[in-house]
Amino acid sequence: MSLTYPGEPLSDGVILLRPWTTDDLACVEAASRDPRIPEMTTVPGEYGEAEGRAWIERQHGRLSLGEGLSLAIADVADGVARGYVGLLLRQAARGTAGIGYWLVPDARGGGRATRAVALLARWALAEAGVVRVEAHVEAGNEASQRVLERAGFRREALLRSYLSFPTRRADALVYALLPA
């Protein structure tokens, strides 16, 4: 299974999922200032324009390396990137893609993450040949759990000490969405 960018940006009329561009550097900078985003992702913890550009290039590289697909979450009204949603192919589980997402702090609380997760997961299941979309969420991250539940994902398991961060380990809850 390999992914390609959707033929058209994905949209529900409120948000837009599209490839990252260098116009999105302000979003990467804002994400780098949130202590949780760099801890859990590849967003640079120390932002500079070179680091921001390198991060955006890595997002495009995921597709060309066959690792997955990375998209910016933007509002339809202005096209400004306010977060990330992506699919990562799980090589050990054929047909399964992991989904990840984040929003910059000032974009949280308006349903954007739920909309983005639902849009991308349903596109992956209907159009991209994915048969299972799953997420591993830190057990204490209730906001992220709500995003997944509102997007139709079901909680399946607890993986103890599964997540590895630079200074700690954490339990992960496994959520999944299937075509049915």
pLDDT greater than 70 at residue 151: yes
pLDDT at position 66 is 87
Q: Phi, psi at residue 113, to the nearest 5°?
A: -65, -45
| Total domains in the fold of the chain | 1
Cβ proximity of 83 and 107 under 8 Å: yes
Question: Phi/psi class of residue 129: alpha, beta or left (left: φ > 0; alpha: ψ in -120 to 50)?
Answer: left
Tokens of 144: 């992220």
> Using one digit for the tens of pLDDT, what is the confidence trace for 20-54?
999 999 999 999 999 899 998 999 999 999 999 99
Tokens of 78: 């202005």
pLDDT greater than 80 at residue 1: no
Tell me, yes or no, whether 5 lies in a domain: no
Tell me, yes or no, whether 180 lies in a domain: no
> Using one digit for the tens of pLDDT, what is the confidence trace for 95-146?
899 999 999 999 999 999 999 999 999 999 999 999 999 999 999 999 999 9
Tell me, yes or no, whether 123 lies in a domain: yes
What CATH number did the domain enclosing 60 receive? 3.40.630.30
Tell me, yes or no, whether 28 lies in a domain: yes
- Look at the alpha carbons of 55, 24, 96, 130 in this order and tell me if their dihedral is positive or negative: negative
> Using one digit for the tens of pLDDT, what is the confidence trace for 69-107?
999 999 999 999 999 999 999 766 788 999 999 999 999
Tell me, yes or no, whether 168 lies in a domain: no
- Look at the alpha carbons of 93, 115, 67, 40 in this order and tell me if their dihedral is positive or negative: negative
Tell me, yes or no, whether 25 lies in a domain: yes
Tell me, yes or no, whether 82 lies in a domain: yes
- Which domain covers residue 119, as residue numbers? 10-131
Tell me, yes or no, whether 158 lies in a domain: no
DSSP bridge pairs for 164? 169
pLDDT greater than 70 at residue 147: yes
